[in-house]
Structure 1
């Protein structure tokens, strides 16, 4: 199994990446080559540095050898714990299945003017056996182009609804959004904000609808000013909290649609002298290691991210071997993990 990251062909060294990530060059080499003896947190820092500096491994230029199974995994970014957890699941299954994994980041793919057909043809020429697309905005036309060339594809948490013949893997986002909001309601909160992801993203819509369903079931009106879409990034948590604090009646609790957003809220809350959870309760979504390690530890809706990665690769390999799939749409169960970032509403 080989791990490589697709980036711009600059003369960036492993030493430069190691310096940026604050680790040793051998540790960077382990990450680049898919070694398992690297912690999730360290892997996340190294992958972020690889992306930022545009490091390109020589392995990227290699086409598949006869008989090799090479699956390309495409991320929109590798800077989140979410992406690292998905990747760990893919790598684990690949290691047990004698499959090589190549990694690309959409912002580094180049060829922005390429037609869907030409981009798909490049995958064929590179000898790719299959593809896993993670939260990417690839169009239906692009996914169809891959399928027409008999490249098995699985999409994880698609931003756009995939074509009916493309496998998608996700989690029970609606149920997770409902559980997060119900938890806050049970603690006595009614002024609950939702800091969401991209407005049209399927997973975001499901989480938002779960949030709204929980409020309406308790007779709490949805305040449009409390619903702020954005990106699944920490910056959205920072900007979202700033907007919410400017309201005449700011919320007493926030449901963030990702752990990354929640971490942004935590950072901005500290700058404003707000205590979590004494002044503001906070729930995230993803259940990444960052939720456990944050201060305070974050209450979060846990997705089985590694299992999602394993399931996607399993679906690609089954298609590659001509096996029938049980379903084109796979939803894995979420569950709420209560930690220290939520508390009962205190009278004010």
Structure 2
């Protein structure tokens, strides 16, 4: 006769990392640190997680033998043409290597949260390209320990020499844009900057200052307008600038979106570009050549930069060393019809 042991049949299975984290009210990364004996966990949290493990047990999930054939592309925000150009460059390299591209968004944040990291670790992609973002030291360490290579593209902060990165010559771009306006005869030149925490924004502003300094043109604080790389920056700052007792005759917008905002403000104020007011942008996004008038701008080769970042990632994933941890692409002046000598 078969004896049925009800207590043995109802005995629950040990919990997974995610289940323990849910019970403890902490991230899976925190539970993983406890399980693996890492020190960066508060004593109270560690004691709580260890008590749950003693009570419920812990079941390790089977790891995949190889990473997924996916490049993880993470943006701080999916807005405008910038992400499209980046995705185009990454996609080109991904196709060459039979890889898919997964795109995620940080909803305006420049540093990923814990949920994003947990999702990436569970997907275990071939590698991660973080665009206009920066990861914390702990997040970079987690990717490194899981053998998931990371490349920063257009990083917001100084990536240093430890993290591979790709960027553009932003300082030279700011210098060239301002110098172009100076050579046309402008001396009252305003700048609409990007966010102060962004390396690219600070470099473009420094280039602007250097160009003025070279010709002995004083920097007027009233002409430096803090922005956030948004169209609205161009609109609101242009209204203020043109109400100054001595308004500028030209404006350097730190990206093409801001330049479009300047266009809208000038139109509403009845000003003609470039006859009354010169405008230069930065990026050279495809639509700006169809603006009225077509926009003079500084081109940074975003698709080529993205392709370079993807190639670096493929190299790292293959276990091969990089020739250099930093690639910087030159910016170039593209002259169209939005800049001209100032009115006499």
* Residue 204 (structure 2) aligns with: 207
* Residue 194 (structure 2) aligns with: 197
* Residue 129 (structure 1) aligns with: 126
> Are the equivalent residues in 1 in contact too, given 2:112–2:135 (CA < 8 A)?
no
2: distance between equivalents of 1:142 and 1:112?
A: 9
* Residue 154 (structure 2) aligns with: 157
* Residue 322 (structure 1) aligns with: 319
C-alpha offsets along residues 13-41 of structure 1, whole Å, 9 cap, x if unaligned? xxxxxxxxxxxxxxxxxxxxxxxxxxxxx
* Residue 268 (structure 1) aligns with: 265
Residues 321, 298 of structure 1: CA spacing in aligned structure 2 closer, same or farther, 3 A cutoff? same
What TM-score do the two structures reach when normalised by structure 2?
0.77
Question: Offset at 1:161?
Answer: 2.0
> Are the equivalent residues in 2 in contact too, given 1:139–1:160 (CA < 8 A)?
no
* Residue 41 (structure 2) aligns with: none
The 5 Å alignment of 1:119-268 reads 119-268=116-265
* Residue 76 (structure 1) aligns with: 76
2: distance between equivalents of 1:189 and 1:239?
A: 22
Answering whether residue 88 of structure 2 is matched by residue 88 of structure 1, we say: yes
Query: Which ranges of structure 1 fall in alignment gaps of 5 or more residues?
Result: 1-62
Question: Offset at 1:66?
Answer: 5.9
What TM-score do the two structures reach when normalised by structure 1?
0.76
CA-based RMSD: 2.2
2: distance between equivalents of 1:242 and 1:108?
A: 26
Larger Cα Rg: Structure 1 or Structure 2?
2
Query: Which ranges of structure 2 fall in alignment gaps of 5 or more residues?
Result: 1-62
The 5 Å alignment of 1:292-303 reads 292-303=289-300
Residues 113, 131 of structure 1: CA spacing in aligned structure 2 closer, same or farther, 3 A cutoff? closer
The 5 Å alignment of 1:40-59 reads none
Question: Offset at 1:150?
Answer: 2.1
**Secondary structure at the counterpart of residue 273 of structure 1:** coil
* Residue 340 (structure 2) aligns with: 343
* Residue 288 (structure 1) aligns with: 285
